Amino acid sequence: MSNDLYMIFGLIALMLLFFIWGKWRYDIVSLVTLLVASLTGLVPMDEVFQGFGHPAVITVAAVLVVSKGLMNAGVVDFMARYLLRLGDNILVQMTFLILAVTISSAFMNNIGALALMMPVAIKMARKNNKSPSIFLMPLAFGSLLGGMTTLVGTPPNIIISTFRADYTGEAFGMFDFSPVGGAVAAAGVAFILVIGWRLIPKRAGGKSDEDLFEIKDYITELRIPEESEYIGKTINELEEAIKGELKVVSVIRNERNMAAPSLKLPLEEDDSVIVEATAGEIQEILDATDLKLADTDKLSQEDIRTDDVEIMEAVVMTNSFIIGRTAKAMRIRSRYGINLLGVAREGVRLSKSPDSVRFVVGDILLLQGSPETLSEIITQWGCLPLAGRGISLGKPRRLIPGVLVFATALALTALGFIPVQVSFMAAAVVMVLGNFISLKEMYESIDWSIIVLLGSIIPVSRALETTGGAQLIAESVLGLADRLPLWAMVLAVLVISMTLSDIVNNAAAVLIMAPIALEIAEGLSASPDAFLMSVAIGASCSFLTPIGHQSNTLVMGPGGYKFGDYWKMGLPLEVIVAAVAVPMIMLVWM
For 321-360, what is each residue's pLDDT tens digit?
898 899 888 888 878 888 888 888 876 778 777 888 899 8
Contact at 8 Å (CB) between 500 and 544? no
Give the structural domain span for 58. 3-206+402-589
For the chain, state the CA radius of gyration. 26
Q: How far is CA 510 from the centre of its chain?
A: 19
With bands split at pLDDT 50, 70 and 90, how would you rate the model's confidence at 569?
A: very high
Is 225 within the bounds of a domain? no
pLDDT at 111: 82
Q: Within a domain: residue 73?
A: yes
Task: Transcribe 339-379 into DSSP letters.
Answer: EEEEEEETTEE-SS-GGGPPP-TT-EEEEEE-HHHHHHHHH
Q: How confident is the model at residue 390 (pLDDT cuts 50, 70, 90)?
A: very low
| 349 domain residue, yes or no | no
Which range has the worst mean pLDDT, 103-112, 390-399, 497-506, 508-517? 390-399
Task: Calculate ∠ Cα 113-119-121, nearest 5°.
Answer: 90
How much is the average pLDDT of 291-305?
Answer: 71
Of residues 521 and 484, more confidence is placed in: 521
The pLDDT assigned to 395 comes to 47
Residue 454 scores a pLDDT above 70: yes
CB atoms within 10 A of CB 228: 19
Kindly report which listed range (26-30, 89-93, 302-306, 318-322) carries the lowest average pLDDT score: 302-306
- Number of domains into which the chain is organized: 1
Q: What is the average pLDDT score of the chain?
A: 85
- The predicted structure's pLDDT at residue 211: 56
Would you state the torsion angle of the CA atoms of residues 517, 519, 521, 523, taken in this order, to the nearest 10 degrees?
Answer: -150
- Whether 444 and 379 have beta carbons less than 8 Å apart is answered as no
Name which residue leads in pLDDT, 241 or 37: 37
Q: What is the mean pLDDT of residues 14-22?
A: 85
Average pLDDT over residues 198-220: 66
Query: Whats the size of the chain, residue-wise?
Result: 590
For residue range 161-184, what is the model confidence (pLDDT) as tens digits?
Answer: 999 998 998 999 999 999 999 999
DSSP state of 480: T
The per-residue pLDDT for 182 is: 96
Residue 494 in contact with residue 578, Cβ under 8 Å?
yes
Q: Does a structural domain hold residue 224?
A: no
Q: What pLDDT band is residue 32 in, cutting at 50, 70 and 90? A: very high
For residue 378, being part of any structural domain is answered with no
Q: Taking the model in full, what pTM does it have?
A: 0.80
Determine, yes or no, domain membership for 254.
Answer: no
What's residue 389's pLDDT?
A: 41
Is the per-residue pLDDT at 143 higher than 90? yes
- Compute φ and ψ for 59, nearest 5 degrees: -65, -45
The answer to whether residue 16 sits within a structural domain is yes
| DSSP characters over 377-416 | HHHHHTEEEES-SSPPP--HHHHHHHHHHHHHHHHHHHTT
Task: Please tell me the least confidently modeled range out of 227-231, 384-388, 479-483, 546-550.
Answer: 384-388
Please check whether residue 556 lies inside any domain of the structure: yes
- Reference 419, options 162, 226, 186; nearest CA is 162
CA distance 459 to 504: 18
